[in-house]
Amino acid sequence: MLQNRVLSYQDAHRYRLRVNYDQIPVNQAKHAPVHTYHRDGAMRVDGNSGGEVNYEPNSFGGPSEAPEYREPPLKIDGDADRYNSYPCDDADYYEQPGLLYRKALDDTGRQHLVENLVESLSDVSEDMQRRQLYHFHKADEDLGQRVADGLGLHVDDAIAPADVSATTDTASV
C-alpha cells in the first residue's frame, strides 16, 4: 500500500500540473536543478529558456548529442542499439516534396507556397537562406529558382549540407 504512494504522487502532479510540475519551487529537489528541453506549457516558472534553441542540429551553439553518454549495445539475439532511422528513410528526402509541388499544387498553390517561403526566409541570415535554397532546388528546380528570385539570390549560391561547416556563422549543424 505504501509503495503505491511513491508512484501516485508523481502521477498526480503530472496530471494536475502538467509537464513542468517539477519546476515549481515547492516540488523541486533541494540541490538538483531541473534541466529539461520542455518548452512552454502550464506552470512554467523559469523564463522558458529565453531565446535559446532546444533542437539539434542547430547553428546557434545550442545542444548537441554527447556520444559518450550513449547506452551501450545490448546483447539479445544479436546486437541491439539505438538507430536514427531505417536506411530506406535516408534514401530520398526530395522526391515527395517535389511531387507535392509539381503534382498536388495548382499554379495558385505553388505561387502561395513560394510567397510564404520568401516571406518567412526574409527574416533570417543570408547564410541560412542559401542553405534552405539548396533543399528547395533539390526538391524541384522551379521551386528553388522562384524562391531564389524572391530572395534576390542566385540558385548557384545555394549551400549543400556538406558545405555548411565552411560558412562563417555556423557553430554546428
Give tens-digit pLDDT for 96-109.
999 999 999 999 99
pLDDT digits (tens, 9 = 90+) for 138-171: 999 999 999 999 999 999 988 887 544 444 444 4
Numbered ranges of CATH 1.20.1370.20 in the chain: 89-166
Identify the CATH class of 89-166: mainly alpha
Backbone angles phi, psi at 145, to 5 degrees: -65, -40
CA-nearest of 67, 63, 66, 69 to 171 is 63
Q: What is the mean pLDDT of the chain?
A: 81
Q: What's the confidence (pLDDT) of residue 116?
A: 97
Q: C-alpha cell of 60? A: 546557434
Who's near 86: CB < 8 A, 6+ residues apart?
none
Q: What's the confidence (pLDDT) of residue 131?
A: 92
